[in-house]
Chain A
Amino acid sequence: MAQTGVVNRSHYIKHKKLHHLLRFKWLYLMLLPAIIYYIMFKFVPLLNLRIIFQKYNPAAENIGIMSPWVDPWYKNFMVFFQHRDFLRLLRNTLVLAFLNICIYFPFPILLALLLNEIRAAGFKRITQSVLYLPHFISWTVLASIMLMLLGPSGLVNNLLTAAGRETIPFMASEQWFRPMYIIEMMWKEAGWGTIIYLAALSGVDEQLYEAAVIDGAGRFKQLLHITLPAIKTTIITLLILRMGSFLDSGFDQIYLMLNSLNREVAEVFDTYIYDIGLKATYKPAPGISNYSYSAAVGVFRSLVGMVMVLITDRIAKAAGEEGVY
């Protein structure tokens, strides 16, 4: 007798739970495509990361033969870290990352502060629209325009030749690559980057400024004590997120700028992974698969980004900020 009671009860609880879940059946139905998406296009690629420990052979895998594991298991990484390309790629990528954070990153903040000081609504709206415009242009278009303006037979060099001066190799030389990278970046994204700061600034209570004026604070003091603190959290959040793609130099931009004359400084992890892995331009070492090797390079890059994010996040939290993760 007692036993049936227990059975009935657990049956009842199960039934209740099922009933509870059934209430959400429509929501689960709405979630279903996303679940399939994350499994098929995020989780399965993660499983396929096994190739970094293998000598991946796509032709054999297609007929169901598993690729052989490498020995030792870290062979692909070892080859990469000992390869003569490694230090050059690391240097190039780090230099671009630092230029990005030290020169490009503050620029939209500065621009937003300047825009915020503009009182004439019409002028502000037009300036904003013009500054946002380059964001809508693709890197391919930008690279094409740059070539037409600054290329070997572009506008500037034609003018220089006409004036009897030497041409400047903007697009195809080692010393011009990094300045051009940052200039392109600023031209394309700086204006768009102001949006999020301007949104944060529009939330600042106008009364704060009034109070500051009564207290005798000038424009600069208002900026220092009201405007900047208002966007501090936004700046830190964006900085943390930027750290996640620390070693991510922007494939489209670099790949379209890359040529044999600036390869020494322009080649970065992103373009290297593509060139070795998918175009198979050359074999980094005998006895390894290009797929496996470049996938290992990609994992190294992702891991560095992940560590950078978590470190920055911890530092921000330690300094009393909210953090992201």
Chain B
Amino acid sequence: MAKEAKVKVNMASRNQSTGGKIFDFCNYLLLTILGLLMLAPLLYVLVGSFSSTGLATSKGFGSFSLDAYVMIFRGGKTLNGLINSGIITICGTVMNIVITSITAYALSKKDLPGRKIFMWFVMFFMLFTAGLIPDYITVANKYGLLDTYWAIWLPVLISSSNLIIMKSFFQQLPESIEESARIDGCNDIQSFIRIVLPMSKASIATFSLFYAVGHWNNYLRPMIYLNNENMWPITVWLRQLIILSSGTVGDDVVTEAVVWAPSNTVKYATIIVSTVPIICVYPFLQKHFTKGVLLGSVKG
């Protein structure tokens, strides 16, 4: 009761002055406008994907049509790209999460001999990376991973910053529960799976989201490591479809021109289908997500 009253007093006093009211009004207005600006391009594309004319200025909206979506889902490169992106994202994220969490757990044990040296290496590689060319030579020429998805998954198996945040998350879990598990005869791996993981759902969800977005949206690595068009994820195919076919990319058109020039409606629909899957993941993880990031950023 007392707390409620206090908050009310605070609210009231914060809203008292006219200046404050004007500020509040402007603030709401500004954020509404910003929000609409963020949404507008996406809404335009979404509407365009259902328009038979592709929203061409001279012809208007035309009629409602699902033709573009029917065409995409009947098969062909776009559908193939979506499936490839799905495979890359799901397998990649699972590997990322398994390896990052077991590593973070081991490193969260302060008495582990050699832990400091390992952390030092992690920090060093965060500060200095060899760069694109040595990475490419190592992955493609030395390990021969060209034209395999391993070239996309393995070089980014662990994100050092995610590892460090996850490690500090595990460190601040109460030790007493694990201690009792150990007395009951659990070894480290068993207590990690049975005790620590169930307590870390929010954290796991957050990092899954980070890794999944990274995989789904990645463009550079598939472009350099996959020469085989049938293995391309949707990002690489989309560039081929829209940017190169529009003819503005001066130098590249000559070498990489696409013969087939798709209609605007198809372009819009392709943009939508390549965005919707990853956006759909967000609400599922959102509940855990704010909690997970909060923990990481406050404690990390």
A284 at the interface (CB under 8 A from B): no
Instruction: Judge whether B141 and A155 touch: CB under 8 Å.
Output: no
Q: Which of A2-10, A86-94, A130-138 lines the interface with chain B? A: A130-138
Instruction: Judge whether A127 and B31 touch: CB under 8 Å.
Output: yes
How distant is the Cα of A183 from the Cα of B220 in the complex, in angstroms? 22
B62 at the interface (CB under 8 A from A): no
Instruction: Judge whether B271 and A145 touch: CB under 8 Å.
Output: yes
Instruction: Judge whether A306 and B58 touch: CB under 8 Å.
Output: no
In the bound complex, residues from chain B placing their C-beta under 8 Å from that of A306 are 127-128
A249 at the interface (CB under 8 A from B): no
How distant is the Cα of A114 from the Cα of B282 in the complex, in angstroms? 24
B265 nearest CB across to chain A (Å): 11
B138 nearest CB across to chain A (Å): 5
How distant is the Cα of A51 from the Cα of B131 in the complex, in angstroms? 12
B176 at the interface (CB under 8 A from A): no
Option from A172, A219, A291 in Cβ contact (under 8 Å) with B14 = A219
B250 nearest CB across to chain A (Å): 3
Task: Tell me the dominant secondary structure on chain B's binding face.
Answer: helix
In the bound complex, residues from chain A placing their C-beta under 8 Å from that of B138 are 40-41, 44-45, 48
B2 at the interface (CB under 8 A from A): no
Given contacts A26-B189, A302-B131, contact A48 B137 (CB under 8 A): yes
A-B pairs with beta carbons under 8 A, tally: 289
Instruction: Judge whether B112 and A27 touch: CB under 8 Å.
Output: yes
B148 nearest CB across to chain A (Å): 15
A162 at the interface (CB under 8 A from B): yes
In the bound complex, residues from chain A placing their C-beta under 8 Å from that of B103 are 30-31, 33-34
A159 at the interface (CB under 8 A from B): yes
Q: Which of A77-85, A98-106, A292-300, A314-322 lines the interface with chain B? A: A292-300
Given contacts A114-B27, A141-B274, contact A34 B14 (CB under 8 A): no
Instruction: Judge whether A140 and B219 touch: CB under 8 Å.
Output: yes
Given contacts A155-B44, A306-B127, contact A199 B293 (CB under 8 A): yes
A181 at the interface (CB under 8 A from B): no
In the bound complex, residues from chain A placing their C-beta under 8 Å from that of B55 are 155
Instruction: Judge whether A259 and B189 touch: CB under 8 Å.
Output: no
A309 at the interface (CB under 8 A from B): yes
Instruction: Judge whether B131 and A141 touch: CB under 8 Å.
Output: no
Interface size on A, residues (CB 8 A): 106
B183 at the interface (CB under 8 A from A): no
Instruction: Judge whether A41 and B133 touch: CB under 8 Å.
Output: no
Instruction: Judge whether A138 and B219 touch: CB under 8 Å.
Output: yes
How distant is the Cα of A119 from the Cα of B13 in the complex, in angstroms? 13
Per-residue 0/1 for A268-307: is the Cβ within 8 Å of any B Cβ (1 yes, 0 no)?
0010011001100100000000010011001101110010
A46 at the interface (CB under 8 A from B): yes
In the bound complex, residues from chain B placing their C-beta under 8 Å from that of A295 are 131, 133-134
Instruction: Judge whether B248 and A147 touch: CB under 8 Å.
Output: yes
How distant is the Cα of A38 from the Cα of B126 in the complex, in angstroms? 11
Given contacts A138-B219, A218-B19, A277-B133, contact A118 B271 (CB under 8 A): no
How distant is the Cα of A303 from the Cα of B127 in the complex, in angstroms? 9
Instruction: Judge whether A147 and B242 touch: CB under 8 Å.
Output: yes
Q: Which of B63-71, B72-80, B153-161, B197-205 lines the interface with chain A? A: B153-161
A221 nearest CB across to chain B (Å): 12
In the bound complex, residues from chain A placing their C-beta under 8 Å from that of B32 are 127
Given contacts A41-B157, A140-B235, contact A33 B99 (CB under 8 A): yes
How distant is the Cα of A140 from the Cα of B188 in the complex, in angstroms? 43
In the bound complex, residues from chain B placing their C-beta under 8 Å from that of A278 are 132-133, 136, 224
Instruction: Judge whether B57 and A158 touch: CB under 8 Å.
Output: yes
Chain B interface residues (CB < 8 Å from chain A):
6-7, 9-11, 13-15, 17, 19-20, 23-24, 27-28, 30-32, 34-35, 37-39, 41-42, 44-45, 48, 55-58, 99, 102-103, 105-107, 109, 112-113, 118, 121-123, 125-139, 141-143, 154-155, 157-158, 163, 187-189, 192, 213, 216-220, 224, 235-236, 238-239, 242-243, 246-252, 264, 267-268, 271, 274-275, 278-279, 282, 286, 293-294, 297-298
Chain A interface residues (CB < 8 Å from chain B):
20-21, 24, 26-31, 33-35, 37-38, 40-42, 44-46, 48-49, 51, 56, 58, 61-62, 111, 114-115, 117-119, 123, 126-127, 129-141, 143-145, 147-149, 151-153, 155, 158-159, 162, 171-172, 187, 191, 195-196, 199-200, 202-203, 206, 209-210, 213, 218-219, 234, 244, 251-252, 255-256, 258-261, 263, 270, 273-274, 277-278, 281, 291, 294-295, 298-299, 301-303, 306, 309, 325
Q: Could you list 4 further interchain pairs (A-B, Cβ under 8 angstroms) beyond the known A26-B187, A126-B35?
A: A127-B31, A141-B274, A145-B41, A213-B13
Q: List 8 A-B contacts (CB under 8 A).
A: A31-B103, A51-B137, A133-B279, A141-B238, A218-B19, A244-B127, A270-B132, A295-B134
